[in-house]
Amino acid sequence: LYAHYLSALDDLGLAYLHVMRPTANEMVVDPVLMARKHYNGRIIAAGNYDAASADALLKSGGADAVAFGRAFIANPDLVERIRAGAPLSEPDVTTFYTPGAKGYTDYPKLAA
């Protein structure tokens, strides 16, 4: 069924298709790779990617871009950390969607 719907999206002229990938232990079929197989437009993938897995996906042509949600929340300097090969701060999910700055502006930045 998804193969039919995904291939039908080609005719709609979408700017891109954003495909969310569930956590690895929930995944039977990788929806990003399934989307690439049946959809010819641009794909932005998201869902628990790290620098290495995002790079591998991009190099394989499985997606055109990779979005980092939780990693950006916990690492306001994510791009610099990836470039430097530095470890990432873990997100505190208990602070997601709560009022105030805790969990949004108090993560440590990479030391100079």
What's the pTM?
A: 0.83
- Per-residue pLDDT reduced to its tens digit, 36-53: 999 999 999 999 899 999
Distance of alpha carbon 94 from alpha carbon 112, whole angstroms: 29
DSSP 34-96: HHHHH--S-EEEESS--HHHHHHHHHHTS-SEEE-SHHHHH-TTHHHHHHHTPPPPPP-GGGT
State the pLDDT at residue 112. Answer: 58
Q: What is the pLDDT of residues 51-78, one digit of tens each?
A: 999 999 999 999 999 999 989 889 989 9
What average pLDDT score do residues 100-107 get? 83
pLDDT band at residue 1 under the 50/70/90 scheme: confident
Q: Which tokens belong to 58?
A: 């991009």
